[in-house]
C-alpha cells in the first residue's frame, strides 16, 4: 500500500527519507539520500496518481527523455520507479533557495536580476523543449536560485510533447495563475503554455505577488483567462512587456526575445517610449486594432465601461479620442460562460467561496496547490582549491615531521567530522521541526555527543588507513633491507636520511590521510571540512588566503627537505636501517 507523509529514516526504493521539502496535488517531495549517502530530491506520487497506469506510463516516458538531458539550468533526473506500488521520481538536489522563498524573504528582484532570471529560465525551457518534453508546471517554487543562476526543478508534472494518447479527457494539472489560459479551453499542451508560465513567473519575481492574485481557484483562473494580471508598480516598459506576454491568445503574445529585450532596456536605463504616449480610447468591437509601441498593452484599463490604451500618435497628428462600446464584464467565479464549454476543466470541490464548481472525479489529480516550502539547509559548498592546497601541505609536512603530521591530521579529521555531524544535525532538526530559538543551545549542548560520534565514525577509516600504511612501510623496509632499493646512502644500522627517505615518508603520510578522507563513512568528514572552511575562510578571498598560506608553508618544508635537514621522528624513536 502506498505511503504518504513519510517520516525521516523511512526507506523507499533504495533511498532513505531525510526531511519533507514540499507537497502538492501530484505528490510530496522529500530530501533523501541514496545508498552512498548522496543527497537527492525524491518526489513520491500521490497514491491515486501512482495507481493510475496512464500516469505511470507517462512518467516512464518523461523520465527516459529527461535522463538524456544535460543542461546547467535543469535539474538532472537520476532515477524513476513507475512499476512498483509506490511510484516516484528522483532528481539531483539543487542547493539554494526557491524563487518563491527568495522573493518572500528579500522582496522583488531588481531590474538586472530580473533579466538574468528571464535569460536563464528561457534557456532551460529551450533545452527541455528540444528534448521533446513539456514542463507544464513552471511556477516560483519550481525555480531554484543558485550562485550559478536559476535552475528548473520538479518534472513530476511534465508531459512528452505530442503525447496526446496519454492525456485523459478533462484531466487538468497545473497551478492556478501559472497555468496557460489555452489549457482551460481544452487545447493540447505545447511550448507556448510553458512560455506563458515563464512570463507569469517573471511577473511574480518583478512584483513580489502572484500576477493573478490568490484566493478561490475559480477567481484566479478567471483573471488569467481574461488576461488581467496585477502589474502595478512596475516601470511602464516592463509592465507593458509582461502584460503583452501574458495575453490569453497565444498568437497575440509578445515573443520571448522581445520580452527579454524590454527587460534589458529597463535594466540599462534606456528612455521609455511610454513617456511620449497619447491616451486613446479604442473600440473593443473593432475587427483588428494595431497598437504601436511597447506601452500599448500596458495602458489597458477600464474606465466608464470603455477600454483605454496608450498608443503613440502618427507624426504631426493631434491626439484623438475614439469612444467605443462598454467592455464585456469579466466572468465571475462559477459563471456559466466560464464553465459551459468544458465543465470538467475546473477541478476542486464546490465550497462557500467557489459556488458551482463541479467536484473532481475520483482518482483524478487536482490542481497542484503547493504550500510554502519548509526550511532548507544551506549548501555545503565544495572547496577543491583549499582542500588540494591543504593536501600538499600534509605531504610536505610528512617529509619532515611524519609522526606529528599524522597526529595533527587525525585530530583535524575528528574535529571536522564532529562539525559535520553537529551542523547536519542542526539543519536536520530545523527541516523536521522548523526554526526554533533553542536550536543553537541544543547544538552547543550536543557538541560532546557529536565529538564521540566522530571518533567512532572515523574508526573504520583509521583501521584501513593504518593497515595500508603499515603494509607500505613494511614493504619499503624489506626492499631497503634486502638491498633491492637504494633509498639512502646511510650505512646499515644508522638512522635513514636523505631526500628519498623524506619523499617516501611524505607519500606514506598523505596516503594514510587520503584513506581516512575517502574511506568508509568519510562523506560526513568531507562535509564537515566544507562547513569549517566556510566559517574560518569564507568566500573567494578566504579560499585564496588558505591556498596561499598552505602553499607558502609547503614551500618552506620542501626547501628544508632539499637542504638535507634530518627528519624529526618525535615522539617516536628514530628507526635504524637493518643490519646485513
- Is 455 contained in some domain? yes
CATH number of the domain where residue 156 is located: 1.10.510.10
- Is 227 contained in some domain? yes
296 and 440 housed in the same domain:
no
pLDDT band at residue 459 under the 50/70/90 scheme:
very high
Question: Tens digit of pLDDT for each residue in 203-262?
Answer: 999 999 999 988 888 888 888 989 899 998 899 999 999 999 999 999 999 999 999 999
Q: How many CB atoms lie within 10 A of CB 489?
A: 10
- Is 36 contained in some domain? yes
166 and 205 housed in the same domain:
yes
Q: Indicate the residue among 295, 325, 345 that finishes a domain.
A: 345
412 and 469 housed in the same domain:
yes
Q: Indicate the residue among 345, 363, 394 that finishes a domain.
A: 345
pLDDT of 413 above 80: yes
Upper half-sphere CA count for residue 53 (Cβ side, 13 Å): 1
Q: Which carries the bigger pLDDT value, residue 416 or residue 424?
A: 416
139 and 44 housed in the same domain:
no
Question: How distant, in Å, are the alpha carbons of 79, 94, 128, 149, 426 from that of 122?
Answer: 25, 18, 10, 12, 36
Of 81, 64, 80, whose CA–CA distance to 131 is shortest?
64
- Is 364 contained in some domain? no
Q: What is the mean pLDDT of the chain?
A: 76
- Is 359 contained in some domain? no
Residue length of the chain: 580
pLDDT band at residue 303 under the 50/70/90 scheme:
very low
Question: Tens digit of pLDDT for each residue in 480-502?
Answer: 877 788 877 778 778 888 899 99
- What cell does 115 get? 533579466
Of 329, 203, 193, whose CA–CA distance to 253 is shortest?
193
Residues carrying an active site annotation: 137
Of 425, 399, 332, whose CA–CA distance to 562 is shortest?
399
50 and 99 housed in the same domain:
no
74 and 105 housed in the same domain:
no
CATH number of the domain where residue 49 is located: 3.30.200.20
Q: Indicate the residue among 93, 117, 136 that finishes a domain.
A: 93
pLDDT of residue 13: 83
272 and 299 housed in the same domain:
yes
Question: Tens digit of pLDDT for each residue in 374-387?
Answer: 466 677 788 889 99
Task: Tell me the residue range of the domain where 109 lies.
Answer: 94-345
pLDDT of residue 379: 74
Question: Tens digit of pLDDT for each residue in 523-564?
Answer: 889 989 998 998 899 888 999 999 999 999 999 999 999 998
Is there a contact between 486 and 476 (Cβ–Cβ < 8 Å)?
A: no
> How many separate domains does the chain show?
3
Q: What is the pTM of this model?
A: 0.50
56 and 104 housed in the same domain:
no
59 and 152 housed in the same domain:
no
16 and 82 housed in the same domain:
yes
pLDDT of residue 559: 95
- Is 358 contained in some domain? no
428 and 542 housed in the same domain:
yes
Q: Which carries the bigger pLDDT value, residue 68 or residue 153?
A: 153
395 and 474 housed in the same domain:
yes
Cell 517610449 locates to 273
- Is 501 contained in some domain? yes
pLDDT of residue 100: 92
Written as one string, the DSSP assignment of 196-261 is: HHHHHHHHHHHHSS-TT--SSHHHHHHHHHHT----TTS-HHHHHHHHHHT-SSGGGSPPHHHHHH
- Is 372 contained in some domain? no
pLDDT of residue 137: 80
Maximum average pLDDT range among 118-132, 312-326, 501-515: 501-515
Amino acid at each position: 500500500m502506498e505511503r504518504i507523509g513519510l517520516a525521516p529514516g523511512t526507506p523507499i526504493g533504495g533511498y532513505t527519507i531525510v526531511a519533507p521539502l514540499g507537497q502538492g496535488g501530484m505528490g510530496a517531495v522529500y530530501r533523501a539520500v541514496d545508498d552512498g549517502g548522496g543527497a537527492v530530491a525524491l518526489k513520491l506520487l500521490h497514491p491515486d496518481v501512482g495507481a493510475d497506469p496512464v500516469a505511470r506510463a507517462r512518467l516512464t516516458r518523461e523520465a527516459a527523455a529527461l535522463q538524456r538531458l544535460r543542461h546547467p539550468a535543469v535539474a538532472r533526473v537520476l532515477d524513476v520507479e513507475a512499476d512498483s506500488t509506490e511510484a516516484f521520481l528522483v532528481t539531483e538536489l539543487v542547493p539554494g533557495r526557491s524563487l518563491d522563498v527568495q522573493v518572500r524573504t528579500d522582496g522583488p528582484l531588481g531590474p538586472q536580476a530580473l533579466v538574468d532570471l528571464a535569460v536563464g529560465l528561457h534557456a532551460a525551457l529551450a533545452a527541455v523543449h528540444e528534448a521533446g518534453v513539456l514542463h507544464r508546471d513552471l511556477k516560483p517554487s519550481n525555480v531554484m536560485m543558485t550562485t550559478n543562476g536559476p535552475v528548473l526543478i520538479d518534472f513530476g508534472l511534465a508531459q512528452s510533447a505530442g503525447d496526446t494518447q496519454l492525456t485523459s479527457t478533462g484531466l487538468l494539472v497545473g497551478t492556478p495563475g501559472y497555468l496557460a489560459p489555452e489549457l482551460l479551453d481544452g487545447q493540447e499542451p505545447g511550448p507556448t503554455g510553458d512560455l506563458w508560465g515563464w512570463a507569469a513567473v517573471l511577473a511574480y519575481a518583478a512584483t513580489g505577488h502572484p500576477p493573478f492574485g490568490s484566493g478561490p481557484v475559480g477567481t484566479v483562473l478567471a483573471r488569467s483567462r481574461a488576461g488581467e494580471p496585477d502589474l502595478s508598480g512596475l516601470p511602464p516598459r516592463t509592465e507593458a512587456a509582461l502584460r503583452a506576454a501574458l495575453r490569453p491568445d497565444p498568437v497575440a503574445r509578445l515573443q520571448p526575445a522581445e520580452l527579454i529585450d524590454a527587460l534589458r532596456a529597463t535594466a540599462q536605463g534606456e528612455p521609455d517610449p511610454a513617456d511620449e504616449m497619447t491616451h486613446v480610447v479604442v473600440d473593443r468591437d473593432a475587427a483588428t486594432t494595431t497598437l504601436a509601441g511597447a506601452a500599448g498593452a500596458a495602458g489597458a484599463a477600464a474606465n466608464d465601461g470603455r477600454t483605454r490604451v496608450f498608443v503613440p500618435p502618427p507624426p504631426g497628428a493631434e491626439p484623438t479620442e475614439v469612444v467605443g462600446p462598454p467592455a464585456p464584464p469579466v466572468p465571475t467565479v462559477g459563471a456559466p460562460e466560464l464553465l459551459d464549454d468544458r465543465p470538467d476543466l475546473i477541478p476542486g470541490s464546490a465550497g462557500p467561496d467557489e459556488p458551482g464548481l463541479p467536484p473532481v472525479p475520483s482518482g483524478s489529480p487536482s490542481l497542484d496547490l503547493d504550500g510554502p516550502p519548509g526550511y532548507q539547509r544551506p549548501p555545503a559548498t565544495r572547496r577543491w582549491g583549499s582542500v588540494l592546497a591543504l593536501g600538499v601541505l600534509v605531504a610536505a609536512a610528512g617529509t619532515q615531521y611524519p609522526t606529528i603530521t599524522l597526529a595533527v591530521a587525525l585530530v583535524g579529521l575528528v574535529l571536522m567530522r564532529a562539525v559535520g555531524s553537529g551542523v547536519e544535525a542542526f539543519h536536520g532538526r530545523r527541516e523536521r521541526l522548523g526554526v526554533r530559538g533553542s536550536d543553537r543551545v541544543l547544538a552547543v549542548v550536543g557538541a560532546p555527543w557529536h565529538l564521540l560520534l566522530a571518533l567512532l565514525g572515523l574508526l573504520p577509516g583509521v583501521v584501513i588507513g593504518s593497515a595500508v600504511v603499515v603494509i607500505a612501510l613494511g614493504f619499503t623496509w624489506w626492499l631497503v633491507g634486502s638491498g633491492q632499493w637504494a633509498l639512502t646512502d646511510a650505512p646499515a644500522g644508522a638512522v635513514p636520511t636523505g631526500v628519498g627517505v623524506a619523499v617516501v615518508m611524505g607519500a606514506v603520510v598523505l596516503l594514510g590521510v587520503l584513506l581516512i578522507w575517502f574511506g568508509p563513512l568519510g562523506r560526513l568528514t568531507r562535509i564537515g571540512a566544507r562547513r569549517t572552511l566556510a566559517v574560518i575562510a569564507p568566500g573567494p578571498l578566504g579560499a585564496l588566503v588558505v591556498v596561499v598560506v598552505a602553499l607558502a608553508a609547503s614551500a618552506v618544508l620542501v626547501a628544508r627537505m632539499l637542504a638535507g635537514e634530518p627528519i624529526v621522528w618525535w615522539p617516536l624513536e628514530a628507526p635504524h636501517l637493518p643490519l646485513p
